[in-house]
């Protein structure tokens, strides 16, 4: 039976989609083919065991990168006891002199105890210095507010 223009165009689109889906530039299609080949039974009747590599989230990747940066630049070893899960955040508490470093699900790092800072690994690696500067400024302000200003002399 003959096909009209719409049927031919639909068939061409389907063929094009299947061709690009199976092409080497589509990783999802490649993964599907690899899974299908791996699931086929071997000659002895048993299927090959498929092991999926563990995917690392952005949050875990940032924790690893920060751990390496702290080890290389400051010689500080981050131990598992220093990591805490707080809802969707991972908190790193390195000690009393350090602020808590909070890492979000998308790998963003923040220092909730520090009022203002530049973004970047250099800042997070030197967070203890930033906290010391901030507390020194706050103490200086509190001390200035506690001491009364000298009263103006009365002229007689």
Q: What is the pLDDT of residues 29-56, one digit of tens each?
A: 556 666 665 666 665 655 555 666 678 8
Which tokens is 116 given? 């203002």
Residue 50 pLDDT: 61
Q: What is the pTM of this model?
A: 0.57
Longest Cα–Cα distance in the chain: 119
DSSP 3-state of 18: helix
Residue 21 pLDDT: 54
Contacts of 109 (CB under 8 A, 6+ apart): 62, 66, 101, 102, 103, 119, 124
Structure confidence by residue, pLDDT tens digits, 66-79: 999 999 998 989 89
Q: What is the pLDDT averaged over residues 97-104? A: 92
Residue 134, H or E segment: helix 127-146
Residue 24 pLDDT: 47
């Amino acid at each position: 039976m003959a096909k009209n223009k719409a049927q031919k165009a639909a068939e061409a689109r389907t063929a094009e989609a299947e061709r690009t889906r199976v092409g080497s530039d589509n990783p999802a299609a490649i993964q599907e083919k690899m899974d299908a080949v791996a699931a086929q039974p071997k000659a002895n009747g048993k299927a090959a065991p498929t092991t999926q590599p563990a995917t690392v989230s952005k949050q875990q990747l940032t924790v690893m990168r920060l751990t390496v940066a702290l080890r290389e630049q400051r010689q500080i070893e981050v131990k598992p006891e220093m990591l805490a899960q707080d809802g969707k955040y991972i908190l790193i508490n390195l000690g009393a002199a350090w602020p808590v470093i909070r890492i979000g699900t998308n790998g963003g790092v923040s220092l909730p105890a520090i009022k203002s800072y530049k973004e970047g690994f250099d800042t997070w690696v030197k967070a203890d210095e930033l906290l010391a500067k901030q507390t020194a400024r706050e103490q200086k302000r509190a001390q200035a507010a506690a001491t009364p200003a000298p009263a103006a002399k009365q002229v007689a």
